[in-house]
Amino acid sequence: MAYLAHADKAVSEKSYMRKSMSRALLERDEEMDLARAWRDNQDEKALAKLINAYARLVIAMASKFRHYGLSQADLVQEGNVGLMLAARRFDPERNIRFSTYGTWWVKAQMQDYVLRNWSIVRTGTTSAQKSLFFNLRRMRAQIEREKGETVITDNDRKSIAKSMGVKLKDVNGMEQRLMGGDSSLNIKIGESEDDEWQSLLADERPNPEDVVTGMKDAITRSQWLNDALEELNTREQKIIRDRHLGQEVVTLEALGKALGVSKERVRQLEARAMTKLKSSMVKQIENPRDALFA
């Protein structure tokens, strides 16, 4: 049953493509009339005729993206979405053919689809990186033809990086991405195939012992700090809490107004309080390096 469904789908796709390629292109006046009917009256029949007339443009564009390993039918579908987006924004009064305007939208929609589906890892984020993704193969092929050999050197990569306006490391990284596809972490390795690739990946997270030790140390330091704060007077405690222990740092000027002193006096009091804190905490511990204010 699955085979029959697949066969029916293939036949349907071929039929759609043959029908699309056989449709006559629109004359300028008819094209503009259809565009106005859709823009002014939301005439869906006019939109359908406009889109169908240029489906061949979508099919031709889809063939240029086949080497990325994606279904041509899906690419065509995305291209048709691009055509509909173009129709929504097309202004027939600008004296430009819809086919010319729509080509950009079709290409952009297909490129976006390729970037989203070619790999589970996000491939390009900036416009320069996206351009590099779609042009690196062509530029490599051009260099190979000019040199008459298939070896690409670092100088060649530097030339590509300069012409594309990206860093050399971006070219090297994209080259590696294009040469190798995604691999499962569960892929079997070794002769016995008992181990998986993920078993060889290092876990960079702290181990449970370090986590517990860190939590204990944090609690201990917190106790040291609280005990040291108790040795400060009320004004010094307020300065330390407002300047160092709150979510937002209070300015010297604001503290000066609250305490009725100048901001320079607040700075002096803060320095004195910090010295007291450090001295008090050092007395509590054996290793002064463990103190929060050491």
Give the pLDDT confidence of 248-282 residue by residue, as tens digits. Answer: 888 888 888 888 889 899 899 889 888 888 888 77
Confidence of residue 106 (pLDDT cuts 50, 70, 90): very high
What is the mean predicted confidence (pLDDT) over 7-15?
A: 63
CB 290 within 8 A of CB 221: yes
Question: Does the pLDDT value for residue 8 go beyond 70?
Answer: no
Quote the CA–CA distance of 112 and 68 in Å, as a whole number: 13
Residue 105: the pLDDT is 92
pLDDT band at 289 (very low <50, low <70, confident <90, very high): low
> Most confidently modeled of 37-51, 160-174, 196-210?
37-51
What is the pLDDT confidence band of residue 126, given thresholds at 50, 70 and 90?
Answer: low
Q: Which of left, alpha, beta for 272 (phi over 0: left; psi -120 to 50: alpha)?
A: alpha
CA angle 214, 217, 221 (to 5 degrees): 140
User: What mean pLDDT is predicted for residues 165-174?
Assistant: 79
The pair of three-digit structure tokens given for residue 2, joined into one six-digit string: 């699955």
Select from 112, 157, 105, 103 the least CA-distant residue to 134: 112
**Mean pLDDT confidence for 197-213:** 67
**Torsion angle of alpha carbons 165, 170, 172, 175, nearest 10°?**
-90
Who's near 291: CB < 8 A, 6+ residues apart?
221, 224, 278, 281, 282, 285
The per-residue pLDDT for 234 is 87
User: Is the backbone of residue 289 left (phi > 0), alpha (psi -120 to 50) or beta?
Assistant: alpha
Tokens linked to 94: 């600008």
Residue 120 pLDDT exceeds 70:
no
Instruction: Please count the CA atoms within 13 angstroms of the CA of 111 that sit on its side-chain side.
Output: 16
**pLDDT value, residue 185:** 59
pLDDT of residue 45: 92
For residue 188, the cross-strand partners are: 196
74: closest CA among 65, 85, 83? 65
* Residue from 96, 105, 89, 85 nearest 31 by CA: 96
Structure confidence at residue 158 as a pLDDT band (50, 70, 90) = confident
Q: How far apart are CA 277 and CA 237, in angstroms?
A: 10
Tell me what percent of the chain is helix, strand and coil, each rounded to the nearest 5: 70, 0, 25
Q: Residue 293 pLDDT > 70, yes or no?
A: no
The SS3 assignment for 188 reads strand
Residue 13 has pLDDT above 70, yes or no: yes
- Specify the pTM: 0.49
Q: 108 with 136: CB under 8 angstroms? A: no
CB atoms within 10 A of CB 117: 15
Q: What is the pLDDT of residues 127-142, one digit of tens each?
A: 777 777 777 777 877 8
Radius of gyration (C-alpha) of the chain in whole angstroms: 33
82 pLDDT band, cuts 50/70/90, is very high
pLDDT digits (tens, 9 = 90+) for 20-60: 887 888 888 998 999 999 989 999 999 999 888 888 889 98
The per-residue pLDDT for range 208-240, each reduced to its tens digit, is 666 666 666 777 777 877 888 888 888 888 888
Band (pLDDT 50/70/90 cuts) for residue 2 is very low
CA distance 282 to 293: 9
